[in-house]
Amino acid sequence: MCGIIGYIGEREAQPILLNGLKRLEYRGYDSSGMALILSPKNTLSIRKSPGKIKVLEALLQKRPMRGIIGIAHTRWATHGAPNQINAHPHFDCKSEIAVVHNGIIENYSQLKKELMKEGHKFVSETDTEVIIHLIEKFLKNGNLEEAVRKTVAKLEGSFAIGVISSREPDKLIGARLGSPLIVGLGKNENFLASDVPAI
């Protein structure tokens, strides 16, 4: 269990998310990552890396992302090695939706089997990846909130999640069960975080 930070507002999200991750560093982690909906084209972009947040920071300096909505994560691996592919955020088959997750999805292997049968392509070894493919599946007939609601109803275990989608670039969605996640309400901006120091 490590850290999540999410931002939606009017300011550049990348420095805010990076600063938030640094403030969550005390929780320990083995990798980190960030996803933004890029302005002005509303496409999803992801950077992630094993190791220290400094490594992610260097990556973001080299290939910065500009946008006003995003999610970021520090990972403490429970399912799958601490490598680049298993680092969060994870994304759907069309790279339109991204999720960060803290916790453990206990029924992930059954869900993964079902989703693979339905044609979803998995790239990581994490339990988390079932979350994003479930959201993708349920999104076919509805909006992102509805799809996240249907998804969390299928999950057993503990989770705090943050979700963004390039198709609905005005939404930052969070959900939790048994893992911490707080909402920070600001003026023309809002936050999600695992703990108060991050915001």
Q: Nearest approach, Cβ of 185 to ligand GLU (angstroms)? A: 25
103 sits near ligand GLU (criterion: CB under 6 A): yes
Q: 176 in helix, strand or coil?
A: strand
Nearer to ligand GLU, 104 or 148 (CB): 104
Among 33-41, 70-78, 143-151, 166-174, the segment contacting ligand GLU (CB under 6 A): 70-78
- With beta carbons less than 8 A apart as the criterion, state whether 161 and 167 touch: no
Nearer to ligand GLU, 67 or 103 (CB): 103
- Contact residue for ligand GLU among 23, 27, 79, 149 (CB under 6 A): 79
Q: Nearest approach, Cβ of 75 to ligand GLU (angstroms)? A: 4
Beta strands in the chain (DSSP E): 3-8, 31-38, 43-50, 69-75, 90-91, 97-105, 157-165, 173-177, 182-185, 190-193
Classify residue 188 as left (phi > 0), alpha (psi -120 to 50) or beta. Answer: left
78 sits near ligand GLU (criterion: CB under 6 A): yes
C-alpha span between 132 and 118 (Å, rounded): 14
Site string for ligand GLU, 107-146 (x = CB under 6 A): -------------------xxx------------------
49 sits near ligand GLU (criterion: CB under 6 A): no
Nearer to ligand GLU, 127 or 136 (CB): 127
Choose among 64, 35, 68: nearest CA to 169: 68
Which neighbouring-strand residues pair with 46? 35
Among 60-68, 71-79, 110-118, 170-178, the segment contacting ligand GLU (CB under 6 A): 71-79
- With beta carbons less than 8 A apart as the criterion, state whether 69 and 15 touch: no
CA 43 to chain centre: 15
Among 10-18, 72-80, 112-120, 144-152, the segment contacting ligand GLU (CB under 6 A): 72-80
Residues that bind ligand GLU (CB under 6 A): 1-2, 75-80, 101-104, 126-128
